[in-house]
Amino acid sequence: MHDDPLLSLTVSEIMNRWPQCVPVFLAHKLDCVGCPMAPFETLAEVIEIYRLSQDDFLAELAAAIYEEKTKDERQK
């Protein structure tokens, strides 16, 4: 079991803070984008509901977040 802080955030919090994560949700054909439950469901709940691999999904989100951070740092 992970103790990754992303797991306790709601899907809306993740997509608002890191919009570059939206394509990750869409690639998995998740209905989270635009879902009225997104402000209430945590990432951990979504992973369980959709029966995703927690390790793999967290890795994909982290890669999207990290890629954007490094892109921003290169532009400075």
Q: Which fold has domain 5-75?
A: SP0561-like (1.10.3910)
Confidence of residue 3 (pLDDT cuts 50, 70, 90): confident
Where are the domains positioned within the chain? 5-75
**How many whole angstroms separate alpha carbon 74 and alpha carbon 13?**
25
The model's pLDDT over 13-72, given as tens digits with 9 standing for 90+, comes to 999 999 999 999 999 999 999 999 999 999 999 999 999 999 999 999 999 998 866 665
- Predicted TM-score (pTM) of the model is 0.83
